Amino acid sequence: MAKVDGPLFSLEAKGKIGDSVVYFPWKGRHAVRRWLKPTNPSDIDQKLIRQKLYALGKCLKAVETPGTVLANGSALVVAMKAKTPAAQIWNAYMVKVAMADLSNDATFTALSDALFATAVTANWRCCAIELGLETIVSTKDGVATDISPELQLFMAAYAAYKVELSDATEIYSTYPSNWGSDIVSQFATDFTAAY
**Bigger pLDDT: 144 vs 154:** 154
Longest Cα–Cα distance in the chain: 73
Please say whether the beta carbons of 94 and 62 come within 8 A.
no
Average pLDDT of the residues in 39-62: 83
**What pLDDT sits at residue 168?**
47
Average pLDDT of the residues in 90-118: 90
Is 70 exceeded by the pLDDT of residue 10? Answer: no
Q: For residue 135, which amino acid is it?
A: T
Prediction pTM value = 0.75
Question: Lowest-confidence range among 14-18, 125-129, 167-171, 183-187?
Answer: 167-171
Percent of the chain with pLDDT over 70: 86
* 144 confidence band (pLDDT: 50, 70, 90): low
**What pLDDT sits at residue 50?**
85
Q: How many CB atoms lie within 10 A of CB 12?
A: 11
DSSP calls for the chain? -EEESSGGGSS---EEETTTEEEEEETTEEEEEE--------SHHHHHHHHHHHHHHHHHHTS--TTSSSSS-BHHHHHHHHHSPTTS-HHHHHHHHHHHHHTSHHHHHHHHHHHHTSTTHHHHHHHHHHTT---B---GGG----B-HHHHHHHHHHHHHHTT---TT-TTSS-GGG--HHHHHHHHHHTTSB-
